[in-house]
Amino acid sequence: MRRAGIRDVADLAGVSISSVSNALNRPDAVSEQLRTRVRAAADQLGYVPLRAAQQLRAGRSGLIGMTVISIGNPFFAEMLEGAEEATSAAGYQVMLGNSDDSAQRESSYLELFELAHVEGVIVSPFGDVAPALKRLRAQQIPVTLVDGIDEQGLTPSVSLDNVQGGRMAVRHLVEIGRRRLAFVGAREEVRQTRDRLRGAASFAEEAGVPLDVTIGLRTTPRLGSEIGARIAGMPAHERPDAVFAANDMLACGIVHGLLTAGLRVPDDVAVVGYDDIPFASIAAVPLTSVRQPARAMGRRAGEMLVSLLRGEGEQPPATEVFAAELVVRASTVG
């Protein structure tokens, strides 16, 4: 079935094309009777004078594609909301591809966005997106990165210093007197995980404190809870006295698992998370967390993309690095 056009509406309503156009676009300028007649015909045919379709004919879809690692993590939902704020202010709408911890899904979205007529792309990278960035550049589709950087320096990016964030978390645990630390993290393919671990390990080494490492996990509260139960089940002399979890989804679960098994947080085990998602402050024990300004980062990546779309991008491409901030709550300082 061919899409109904304005001519079809005019034919069915028995009026001229310009009458249809006036009735739909400047309803106050026509009679109530004409308006009703044209609307009835348009409804019958399923015709809508798409603002979007008009934009597309003018070479503008108004669409921006965005991928994030896992939308189930409220951190990424906030980042998306920030990107939406910045781009909708400039007349764009974001369509999201949820990479869901899969490099294959991620690269597939980055192909599909082209077909979907997006004008620009925001990538919060999971895997190696260099080939996709190269292809998008070749198609002259502007891209910005958020929570990631382009090693080649060709793509504007907004990131956070996760090495510093990792150091910050472990320094805090050492400062409050903890001496047997554990790091619990997501997939090691994820650069953020590796950087947080690197920072954590470097500070632990400098302080001469052992750091037990568990990575490669899906980051869900449920899995965190299982890990908390496992830690609680260890003999007291082997058990870590502090856990640094590489995101709050895991950390909230770990606290729950520890409490459920009868341990005290932070007395027996202190817990630090990462991201400072909205639930961190209202968790079973309010969570100490390395705060990332997710919304501000998403907003900045959106603003940078809008600049590129307006032909106002900077050379060399801007790279903004946000600083991590430790928010101390009851999960470490009771």
Which one of residues 69, 163, 201, 283 is an interface residue with its own copies (CB under 8 A)? 283
Q: List, in order, residues 6 or more apart from 276 with CB less than 8 Å away.
A: 248, 289, 290, 291, 292, 327
Are 9 and 47 contacting, i.e. CB atoms less than 8 angstroms apart? Answer: yes
Interaction of residue 319 with its own copies, rule CB under 8 A: no
Question: How far is residue 38's CA from residue 66's CA, in Å, rounded to a whole number?
Answer: 38
**Minimum distance of its own copies from residue 325's CB (angstroms):** 18
Question: Given the complex with its own copies, which of 73 and 201 has the nearer CB atom?
Answer: 73
CA angle 242-247-249, nearest 5°?
Answer: 100
Longest alpha-carbon distance in the chain: 88
Spatial separation of the C-alpha atoms in residues 116 and 227, rounded to whole Å? 41
Between 7 and 46, how does the x/- string for binding to its own copies read (CB under 8 A)? ------------------------------------x-xx
Q: Please say whether the beta carbons of 329 and 286 come within 8 A.
A: yes
Q: Considering only the stretches 107-115, 179-187, 200-208, 232-240, report the one whose residues sit in contact with its own copies under the rule CB under 8 A.
A: 107-115
Identify which range of 130-138, 150-158, 160-168, 182-190 contacts its own copies by CB under 8 A.
130-138
User: Which 40-99 residues touch its own copies, going by CB under 8 A?
Assistant: 43, 45-48, 50-53, 56, 61-63, 65, 71-72, 74, 77-78, 80-81, 84, 88, 93-98
Give the Cα separation of 7 and 137 in Å (integer): 39
138 part of the interface to its own copies, by CB under 8 A: yes
Is there binding between residue 111 and its own copies (CB under 8 A)? yes
238 burial level (CB within 10 Å; 0-12, 13-18, 19+): exposed
- Distance in angstroms (rounded) separating the CA atoms of residues 135 and 196: 30
The least distance separating its own copies from the CB of residue 84, rounded to whole angstroms, comes to: 7
Between residue 216 and residue 245, which ones bind its own copies under the rule CB under 8 A? 220-222, 225
Decide: helix, strand or coil at residue 6.
Answer: helix
The encoded tokens of residue 41 equal 């015909």
- Binding footprint of its own copies on the chain (CB under 8 A): 1, 3-4, 43, 45-48, 50-53, 56, 61-63, 65, 71-72, 74, 77-78, 80-81, 84, 88, 93-98, 100, 105, 108-109, 111-112, 114-118, 131, 134-135, 137-140, 220-222, 225, 252-253, 255-256, 278-279, 281-284
